[in-house]
Amino acid sequence: MLEICEIFSSIQGEGWRQGIPAIFIRFSNCNLKCEFCDTPQAFTKKLVMTEENIVQTVKKMSQKYPGIVNVVITGGEPYLQDFSKLAVMLKRERFFVSVETNGTIWRKIPVDWICVSPKLQAEKFIKKGYDARFSRIASEFKYVITRKSDIAFVDKNISQVVILQPVNNNLKIGRMIYNEMKKIGMPNWFLRFQQHKLLKIK
């Protein structure tokens, strides 16, 4: 049994795989409360579902939209719950399973793509804001940038792709990120905006 906020179809609006149609499974609850959180419903909406019911819901959506083969598990914070069984079941149905996590909770779960999005708030209790074990298995890292000082929080030892995302698609912050990237010159850093918000879709 898992606590789910909502299941819906959209495009992957953030990160390296942005622009790909996907079915999103949003988990309830989070262990952080970031000032810029854009999914407050994860704290208030909760539906308890079996893994079987979740998979059936996803399959039904994918039949309506046969071009969707990607499933994104997000939150809230998905790793608050053990979704290993769900991941295995979805992969068995030939879905490409991605997850987005703040990286503070470690679980070894068999997914196809892991986006770790460290938050400055977490640095109070975990070094660099994320569990170091994710550095070996993460597919990408994504940092939400709210001000110039946030750039110093970005872990420069990460070898994977690092997405720098201006909060709320703020153009002024986006230009600041661009200028900082020119100075710092990290070859694996990329500036990306949230496509779903630009398109005004969920």
Residues 6 or more apart whose Cβ sits within 8 Å of residue 99 = 72, 73, 74, 78, 79, 87, 109, 111, 113, 114, 115
Torsion region of 139: left, alpha or beta (phi above 0 gives left; psi -120 to 50 gives alpha): alpha
* Lookup: tokens for 133: 């074990």
% of the chain with per-residue pLDDT over 70: 100
pLDDT attached to residue 201:
83
> Nearest CA to 67 among 11, 7, 111, 15?
11
Averaged pLDDT of the chain: 94
43 lies in some domain? yes
172 lies in some domain? no
56 lies in some domain? yes
Our count of domains for the chain comes to: 1
Distance between CA 86 and CA 197 in Å, rounded? 28
Give me the domain span that covers residue 70. Answer: 2-142
Query: Mean pLDDT, to the nearest integer, of 160-188?
Result: 95
pLDDT attached to residue 40:
77
160 lies in some domain? no
Any bridge partners for residue 73, and if so which?
25, 99
Kindly report, residue by residue over 183-200, the tens digit of the pLDDT: 988 999 999 999 888 887
Distance between CA 117 and CA 34 in Å, rounded? 12
57 lies in some domain? yes
E-strand ranges in 58-130 read 70-74, 96-101, 113-116
Kindly report, residue by residue over 64-107, the tens digit of the pLDDT: 988 899 999 999 999 999 999 999 999 999 999 999 999 999 99
